[in-house]
Structure 1
Amino acid sequence: MPVVDMHTHFLPKQWPDLAAKFSAEPSSNPWPSMRHTEPGKAMLMLGDKDFRPVYEACWDPAVRLAEMDRDNIDIQIMSATPILFAYAKKAEQAHYCAQLFNDLALDICSHDSNRLKALAQVPLQDIDKSCEEVSRAAKNGHVGVQIGNHVGDKNLDDEGLVTFLQHCASENISVLVHPWDMLGGDRMPKYMLQWLVAMPAETQLSILSLILSGAFERISKDLKICFAHGGGSFAFQLGRVDNAWKHRDIVRQDCPNIPSSYCDRFYVDSAVFSDDSLQLLTNVMGEDRVLLGSDSPFPLGEQRVGTLVRENKVLSEQAKTKILGANSMSFFNL
């Protein structure tokens, strides 16, 4: 069975100057760009501010493949770095960005299309345009779509977003939900606390939005949806949620079944970075619903992809085979 890393990110080496193209945009809502600093290294910019140092694995397929070979990864599925989503922009601008970055992702994959696959992005603030673009991308070779976990104040239970998820279900397009634009930023300015605290909370919020709102009751069971970073804090807090559902009517008013019963409606990746966390995750979700995901090539990702799963002392060999590749092969229709 091929080993599949389904959660990796890319950045094109270069792209058009979006700030110049859409010059009327206010400086309070800046565009991303790339500033190359030395061979093989660059700084991802947001307006005139440094956002994140990156290196050539983001854009160079030869480097990606070499790192895959080093870690014994057969297939890698890449998705846009969420800063490229453009959800806060005008819909037509975000649509332009989606088409641009989707096509650039396929350019990277064309270096070895058997081993490099891509997820699309869509202008999620406009559901009609999103449905149009995800269908176009699927026909062009994308194996699914990555979406942010919210659009402004709209969580995944928003009726428009539910409509988009149902469209994906009807066209057998797999969905990866990635947290972004994290809550509580003013209280977390240092130490990457937004990524360490708010990001797991954002993901749990997304899952519970679908469960407690009853959205999973309205969406076809054909939907294949996966949440990044092991579902954030969801697995650890599930007992608390079940307890609240049992004892508070305001928790269960729109949710007809106990929250833990919905774990068979979605998937999570394995990017949790400790044996205990991985074991809890597989206990909660089941070994059929955890997919190998590294979050590479970023510093918060797994540095030797697959090590956590391969070296786990508790998981059975059958479970490891599923997590390392079989589950992703099925999820993404590979």
Structure 2
Amino acid sequence: MKKIDIHTHFLPEKWPDLAARFGTPDWPAMRHTEPGKAMIMVGDQEFRPVYEACWNPAVRIEEMDRHNVDVQVICATPVLFAYERPAEQAADCAKLFNDAALEICAYNPQRLKALCQVPLQDIDASCEEVTRAVKNGHLGVQIGNHVGHKNLDDEGLLTFLQHCASVGAAVLVHPWDMMARDRMPKYMLPWLVSMPAETQLSILSLIMSGSFERLPKSLRICFAHGGGSFAFLLGRVDNAWKHRDIVREDCPNIPSSYVDRFYVDSAVFNSDALAMLVKVMGDDRVMLGSDYPFPLGEQEIGQLIQDHTLFDVSLKQKILGDNAQNFLQI
């Protein structure tokens, strides 16, 4: 079966000293600790250990072969977004990391594809960069699920999504800058609790605001990590829409009717959860996504789908590859 993994991350092996470049502290940097291993730093704070699959395409292809993955779509690690920085600095970073992504993909362009990043705090600059990136070979763009206090129903962000549709850019929405971190200092709880909530918030912000009524149906948009807590709590949302006028104030149709407007990846790590996700979203709206090469990602890429006892061969092929071909238009 053809496997297309639409959710993987990269980091360049090195990049310029951004703190020195912009004259401000606490920029992300890479500190290589030993051959093939490094630590992402944010200022002088350790953020995450990583290894050479992030930057070495030969290692990446070798591991793809081990997992029988035909195509990987790589995108930046969200710590590189720089949404909180001055827009011109974020735009500079976007070009830097977008060009680096294409350099990695050039090792084997048939098997490695890329999504760009943009300075999402500046909509005009974001539209300009996604246009440039798509012309240069990116298949679309990865964006964070919010910019400061602006959710995806913000007018500027809707303008950007409309532009993505107009230039044919697929959009992957990835949670970042998670809520309530001060209440979750241990156990990676922001990744385990806030990340699914952030993803559900981004989906509901488009549904409940009526934004999907304004966005073109040609927009191809996917939410990472199985859509977070969206599928499990959709019944609660539908119930609220039916019984409270303040819930349906801007949403003309029952929330569950919008599941055909977006995709989710398969990174839910449990066969029952995956079965429910497919039942809620439909056969055509779930795609293989592993979050490779990080420890919280799927360690045996595609195995959850391949071993599923409730999925026939046709459905497995849709989730493993066919749906991604439609989403990415490859």
The TM-score bracket by the shorter chain reads: over 0.9
Specify the code of the residue in structure 2 equivalent to 1:10: F
Mapping for residues 180-195 of structure 1, pairs under 5 Å: 180-195=176-191
Secondary structure class of the residue paired with 1:242:
helix
Counterpart for residue 10 of structure 1:
10
Matched, 1:145 2:173: no
Residue 252 of structure 1 aligns to a residue whose secondary structure is coil
Q: Which consecutive segments of 4 or more residues in structure 1 shift more than 2 A?
A: none
Structure 2 unaligned blocks of 5 or more = none
Cα drift, residue 317 of structure 1: 1.0
Q: Which residue of 2 aligns with 1:22?
A: 22
Deviations 1:193-242 (A, max 9, x none): 00000000000000000000000001111100000000000000000000
Question: 310-319 or 291-300, which moves further after superposition?
Answer: 310-319
1:306 aligns with 2:302: yes
Task: Tell me the amino acid that sits aligned with residue 56 of structure 1.
Answer: E
Q: Does 1:171 align with 2:163?
A: no
Query: Helix, strand or coil: the match of 2:247?
Result: helix
Distance 2:57 2:143 in 1: 23
Alignment deviations for residues 122-141 of structure 1 (CA, whole Å, 9 cap, x no partner): 00000000000000000000
- Give, as a single letter, the amino acid of the residue that structure 1 aligns with 2:259: C
Give a deviation string over 1:94-153, Cα, whole Å, max 9, x none.
Answer: 000000000000000000000000000000000000000000000000011000000000
Residue 102 of structure 1 pairs with residue 98 of structure 2:
yes
- The reply to whether residue 73 of structure 1 matches residue 64 of structure 2 is no
Cα deviation, 1:142-175, whole Å, max 9, x if unaligned, reads 0110000000000000000000000011111100
* Aligned-CA RMSD value: 0.6
SS at match of 1:226: strand
Give identity over the alignment, percent: 71
Q: Distance in 1 between matches of 2:167 and 2:10?
A: 25
1:280 lines up with 2:276 in the alignment: yes
Instruction: Report deviation, 1:2.
Output: 2.9
Partner of 2:216 in structure 1?
A: 220
Q: 1:290 and 1:197 mapped to 2: Cα distance?
A: 22
State the Cα distance separating 1:186 from its structure 2 match: 0.2
Matched with 1:231 is 227
The amino acid that maps onto 1:15 is W
What is the count of residue pairs matched by the alignment?
Answer: 330
Q: 1: distance between equivalents of 2:279 and 2:327?
A: 20
- The residue that corresponds to 1:55 in the other structure is 51
1:200 aligns with 2:203: no
Q: Which residue of 2 aligns with 1:325?
A: 321
CA contact (8 A) 2:2 2:317 kept: no
Determine if the alignment matches structure 1 residue 243 to structure 2 residue 233: no
